[in-house]
Chains A and B, each alone.
Chain A
């Protein structure tokens, strides 16, 4: 392959990686935007979503098959189940602490992360689970670049979810309420908005998106394990901050850009794949130092 082919192939790879980052980043960004919580457990919610999807697919493949029909059903059902999990987490662990110091709620989020992580580890005995699908590597060839149908479908599904989310946030009354709460929660209460309900809804949507990413990652990489949420949680947070945390299009842009930077960055002969994570974290630190409000963030000075 010549350089151009490598570049094109990396663009294809980075789109997939970026899609996963973006979907998880959206959950971080939405929750942060609305209650200023860095939801530490979000990476684990993504992981739980993947495992719910895995279980559903094993159950459903009997009568829906393990092709796209079965996978779609698993994705949708996992999104709903994980969404409710997000609501339950919010209700039990975060709602009692909404007015507590930020450190308390952050530590609670860490506690939730520990619970989810260890529960799944215990349930799966720490094993990798093979995500069995009937998908093959067939796809479209452009010269020497190969793009599988799976890749195309996953990117399209991400685009669909993001479009749906954008419409939901911008066109529905619930989206309007979310945007209003992120500006001034107390004023929203006075205006008769059921703030707790909207916060729960935010967690539902964020967790559902993470679940979609989790199941799709399982389909794409072929296996899942209890540790999968940790690194992607960090990466997605990086993406959310990169784009401007609390800003929906920012999370999408940040996710795709981070995916691209990682794919290309690790192609550089002097970086190499084993330095991939160092590369991303280094990037995160640089962003936070030089542009803490992110690419699409407003320039406001905030001190905590």
Chain B
């Protein structure tokens, strides 16, 4: 009996040993930077060998990494459930789309107003709901997300209605028009790297610690002098900015967008990727985003059934591994 316990204990530490070793390597900042640099270098070299299909998939993964990191700030760090996150992605994409196609603006000039509008929409939706209970918050954000999609569908003169907005201008850098998939591959790679850096800096900043404090114990945080409304609102705004910026470039990549891209399912997919990866952990977001994009590609044969499988995975994950694939160890 005692021997059994011992082997079990050894097996446990053995298991934990591997996880710990990986974690230890990554805990060390310089080693973590080395791993990160190796990954980035690999990513930079891919376009010289990969097919267009590979590039398309990876570009999509980078887009999802940005979206996941944005939602991670809201759900993972600040603990605010948001089921309408795709709305801000939509605001960014539609702002740029409308400004460049209907008003002939230059793409780069259209980004600041697009981000401004993202923030305005976020505050309008977010501010009144911050005092709500978490599940009420979920439903309000869901409703607000749907509202934005329906508005995009109904304001036909401006948004092209259900059939979508076409003729979005391609951006150019120093006279080079960005019209190849490899261009967008690099653009989204840069965005993803920026998002990882920003998340990393934010996580360990004063604000990042305040977010987690509010998430873990709102009352205690408030007693320590943290303005919980301001802290939550800042998480909302910064998270939405990630999505808004991703939306701007998404519009440029696609040159045509329709409300269906931003429906409720999109918000759910982003949230699922965040939960799957492990909330509150940057590496987890990358894993989750990759899993989210690659899963449907790998399971192409099962077609529409893959969402069903997804649902099952969600349930099983929550029951057996609620902390996600690569969770934050401090939980």
Residues of A within 8 A of B (CB): 36, 38, 92-93, 96-97, 100-108, 110-115, 117-119, 121-122, 126, 230, 234, 237-238, 241, 274-275, 277-278, 281-282, 284-285, 288-289, 292, 302-304
Chain A residue contacts of B319, Cβ below 8 A: 93, 96-97, 108
* B135 adjacent to chain A (CB < 8 Å): yes
Q: A103-B81, A118-B305, A122-B304 are in contact. Are A234 and B315 (CB under 8 A)?
A: no
| Contacting pair B307 A118 (CB below 8 A) | yes
| Contacting pair B318 A108 (CB below 8 A) | yes
| Contacting pair B318 A288 (CB below 8 A) | no
| Contacting pair B311 A303 (CB below 8 A) | no
Given the complex of chains A and B, what is the CA–CA distance between A118 and B138 in angstroms?
Answer: 22
Given the complex of chains A and B, what is the CA–CA distance between A106 and B236 in angstroms?
Answer: 20
Chain B residue contacts of A281, Cβ below 8 A: 143-144, 146-147
Q: What count of chain B residues pass the 8 Å CB interface test?
A: 43
Given the complex of chains A and B, what is the CA–CA distance between A97 and B318 in angstroms?
Answer: 8
* B128 adjacent to chain A (CB < 8 Å): yes
Given the complex of chains A and B, what is the CA–CA distance between A38 and B137 in angstroms?
Answer: 11
Chain B residue contacts of A113, Cβ below 8 A: 311
| Contacting pair A114 B311 (CB below 8 A) | yes
Partner of B315, one of A108, A126, A303, A304: A108
Given the complex of chains A and B, what is the CA–CA distance between A112 and B147 in angstroms?
Answer: 24
| Contacting pair B315 A115 (CB below 8 A) | yes
Partner of B140, one of A122, A230, A284: A284
Chain A residue contacts of B81, Cβ below 8 A: 103, 106
Chain B residue contacts of A302, Cβ below 8 A: 133
Partner of B134, one of A117, A278, A284, A304: A304
Given the complex of chains A and B, what is the CA–CA distance between A105 and B79 in angstroms?
Answer: 15
Given the complex of chains A and B, what is the CA–CA distance between A238 and B128 in angstroms?
Answer: 17
* B136 adjacent to chain A (CB < 8 Å): yes
Partner of B135, one of A38, A111, A275: A38
Chain B residue contacts of A117, Cβ below 8 A: 307, 311
> Which B-chain residue is minimally distant from A301 (CB atoms)?
B131
Chain B residue contacts of A112, Cβ below 8 A: 311, 315
| Contacting pair A278 B150 (CB below 8 A) | yes
Known: A277-B147, A292-B136. 14 other contacts (CB 8 A): A36-B135, A38-B138, A107-B275, A107-B314, A110-B311, A115-B312, A234-B139, A277-B146, A278-B154, A285-B125, A288-B129, A289-B129, A303-B219, A304-B134
Chain A residue contacts of B131, Cβ below 8 A: 292
| Contacting pair A304 B311 (CB below 8 A) | no
Q: Could you list 7 examples of A-B contacts with CB < 8 Å?
A: A101-B322, A107-B318, A115-B308, A277-B150, A284-B139, A285-B129, A289-B129
Given the complex of chains A and B, what is the CA–CA distance between A187 and B275 in angstroms?
Answer: 33
* B151 adjacent to chain A (CB < 8 Å): yes
| Contacting pair B135 A285 (CB below 8 A) | no
Given the complex of chains A and B, what is the CA–CA distance between A107 and B151 in angstroms?
Answer: 27
- B297-314 Cβ-contact flags toward A at 8 Å (1 or 0): 000000011011011111
> Which A-chain residue is minimally distant from B124 (CB atoms)?
A285
| Contacting pair B314 A114 (CB below 8 A) | yes
| Contacting pair A115 B135 (CB below 8 A) | no
Given the complex of chains A and B, what is the CA–CA distance between A234 and B83 in angstroms?
Answer: 12
Chain B residue contacts of A106, Cβ below 8 A: 81, 135, 138
> Which B-chain residue is minimally distant from A102 (CB atoms)?
B134
> Which B-chain residue is minimally distant from A303 (CB atoms)?
B218
| Contacting pair B318 A105 (CB below 8 A) | yes
| Contacting pair B311 A118 (CB below 8 A) | yes
Chain B residue contacts of A126, Cβ below 8 A: 304
| Contacting pair A122 B128 (CB below 8 A) | no
Residues of chain B in range 43-65 having any CB-CB distance to chain A below 8 Å = none
| Contacting pair A284 B143 (CB below 8 A) | yes
Chain B residue contacts of A234, Cβ below 8 A: 139, 142-143, 146
